[in-house]
Amino acid sequence: MEFTKMHGLGNDFVMVNGFNEDIADPNQLAEAICDRHFGVGADGLVLILPSKQEEADFRMRIFNPDGSEPEMCGNAIRCFGKYLYDRDLTEKTKIRVETLAGIIVPELIIEKDQVEAVQVDMGQPGLGSTDIPITGVNKDKVIKEKLEVENEEYEITAVSMGNPHTVIFVDDADDFPVTEVGPKIEEHPRFPEKTNVEFIEVMNRSEIKMRVWERGAGVTLACGTGACGSTVASILNDYTNQKVEVHLLGGDLTIEWTEDSHVYMTGPAEEVFVGEWIK
């Protein structure tokens, strides 16, 4: 099986062309190929597939290292768009991609026939408690909700970007014990579908620093949907303006929540190498 290794700000993926390869068990393959000691090593397996919907150009499926299938991934869809363009699978620079979170539209920013960046219309965020979902509360917007975690109380803002995000504002994102607190919140019983967890330090009205614990993957260098959800949460709490630079361990993303209620994410996508999986 041929594959391509790509990353968006260090959030890395094994990309497989499902037009050419028949993947019988993608859940099991993800566990094996994403293993950083016995496999290729990645934060996820991404399949490039034909769409089942007439209104979409392609379909993207992504699988976490634990074999679970999330609804969407912002960094992965930027890599997805670059992969299609670089391999002449499309001539379009604005591509409609079917995902479990609905149709997402990445727009390729081309300079000298090279994909320099990708801007993605991530759609409208879900703000209600049933959108996340989170139990124990029935609200149109889950802002500054109290969450008890092993005798500690956290103040959370919850946002869905097609997948669930729980945002906690902290004084120092670098020093916060992400690996300790993250998994406890991910698997908290109030989140029936589990949750991604973002720890946010507000630097000023146009910049935030983010550290993330991803559902099914753990700590990653970047999370595109997390950056979007964190920006929405920052705006809801009146900490930032509508356009925000999000600083992650792997680099920066520009996120804007516009007047049409859509969230737009702009950032890079890079190819690392190609290879052949023989197991």
Question: Which residue's entry shows tokens 């950083």?
Answer: 36
Binding site per annotation, positions: 11, 64, 74-75, 163, 196, 214-215, 224-225
Residues 158 and 141: their CA atoms lie apart, in Å, by 8
Which of these is catalytic: 34, 79, 223, 228?
223
Please calculate the CA angle 253-258-263 and round it to the nearest 5 degrees. 50
Which residues, 6 or more positions from 114, have their beta carbon under 8 angstroms from its beta carbon? none
73 is catalytic: yes
What is the tally of helices (H) and strands (E) in the chain?
4, 17
* Distance, CA of 132 to CA of 193 (rounded, Å): 9
Residues 251/9, Cβ–Cβ less than 8 Å = yes
State the binding site for substrate.
11, 64, 74-75, 163, 196, 214-215, 224-225
Establish whether 34 is a catalytic residue: no
Give the C-alpha separation, 166 to 199, whole Å.
9
**Crossing angle for the helix pair 224-236 and 74-86, nearest 10 degrees?**
130
Cα–Cα dist 256/120, whole Å: 11
Structure tokens at 79: 């890599």
Out of 34, 73, 79, 228, the active site residue is 73
List, by residue number, the catalytic residues: 73, 223
